[in-house]
Amino acid sequence: MRILVTGAGGFLGRHVARRLLTDGFEVTGFDLVTGSMPDISWVEGDLRDHDAVATAAHGHQLICHLGAIGDVYMAAEHPALAAQVNVVGCANVALAAEAVGAKVVYASTWEVYGKARYEPMDENHPCAPDHPYSITKLAGERILLAADLLRRVPVISLRLGTAYGPGLRPNSVFRVFIDKARRGEPITIQGSGLQGRQFTHASDLAGAFSSACKSDLHGDAFNVVAPEQITIKQLAEAVVARYPTEISFGDPRPGDAPPAMVSAEKAGRLLGWEPLVSFEEGVAGLMDDLEGGG
Q: Of the candidates 135, 112, 117, 66, which has an alpha carbon nearest to the alpha carbon of residue 222?
A: 112
For residue 120, whether the previous peptide bond is cis, meaning omega lies within 30 degrees of 0, is yes
Give catalytic status of residue 133 as yes or no: yes
Q: Residues near 73 by Cβ (< 8 Å), separated by ≥ 6?
A: 171
Separation CA 190–CA 172 (nearest Å): 13
Separation CA 261–CA 255 (nearest Å): 18
Pairing verdict, β 103-109 and 62-65: parallel
Instruction: Given the residues 113, 133, 164, 243, select the one marked as catalytic.
Output: 133
Separation CA 93–CA 173 (nearest Å): 31
Active site residues: 133
